[in-house]
Structure formats: C-alpha cells, structure tokens
Amino acid sequence: MWILFQVPCPTPDGQTAQDLYEKRVRGITPEMRASARAHGCRFHQAWYATDGSAFWALAEWESAAGANAFFTEWAIDEEPGEIAVRLEGDVGLVALGAILQEPEAMVPPGGDAPGDVWRRSSPS
C-alpha cells in the first residue's frame, strides 16, 4: 500500500517545507527505522520543494494496520494542512527493485546517528 503525504507550505502554524524536512532529518533514529520495518514499512522517502511551496513523503506499507500502529507508537500526528492519498497502480520507467539492485548507485549513511540517510550518488 503506497501513501503519498503532501503538506502545502507554509503550514497554518507557520512551518516551512524545509522545517518539515529538517524535523525528519533530526527525528528519524535507528530505533524508529527498526520499528518502521517491524510494522511493515518497505519504503519511505521525503522531499521539499525548492520554492518552499510544499513538503512530500512517499511510503509503502504492508498494511494500514501496520502503518497506524507505527504512527501510534511514535505519536506521529498529521502536520497542519497535511493531505494523505492512497495510490493505486504500478507503472513506470524503472522499478524500485531495479534501483535497489544497484547498491553502488547509493551512498550509505556515515553511521546510525539521527539524520544519517541513504542518498543517490552524484554522477561522476
């Protein structure tokens, strides 16, 4: 089950798109990652618009029950103005599995400290 989260920015309480992104960079811990996997999260990535107009996150969960249990465990509430959309269909140019089968294309985190994230490597 794929879910797209969108937050128009600034939010009603004044948070910018980059604020929402940085909150996640600081808040995602190794324990949270392990909990997400245990609750059935197969994928999660977040972005913010360079013009500051929005924040997005895309997640794939095995089930709604697992996602809800994770959000409850970590007391994660919706951001002000957040819209969550369940996505259907599966068509594209390159499958996520193809990306995951090319580990050399990914730059690993420096460690398991908060804020360490996998990133696509820059072209040489």
pLDDT digits (tens, 9 = 90+) for 20-33: 999 999 999 999 99
Residue 10: is the preceding peptide bond cis (ω within 30°)?
Answer: yes
The third-level CATH classification (topology) of the domain covering 2-120 is: Alpha-Beta Plaits (3.30.70)
Domain extents for the chain? 2-120
Q: What is the mean pLDDT of the chain?
A: 84
Instruction: For residue 18, give the amino acid letter.
Output: Q
Distance CA 106, CA 99 (A): 9
Q: Express each pLDDT in 57-101 by its tens digit.
A: 999 999 999 999 999 999 999 999 999 999 988 777 777 666 565
Mean pLDDT of all residues in 38-47: 95
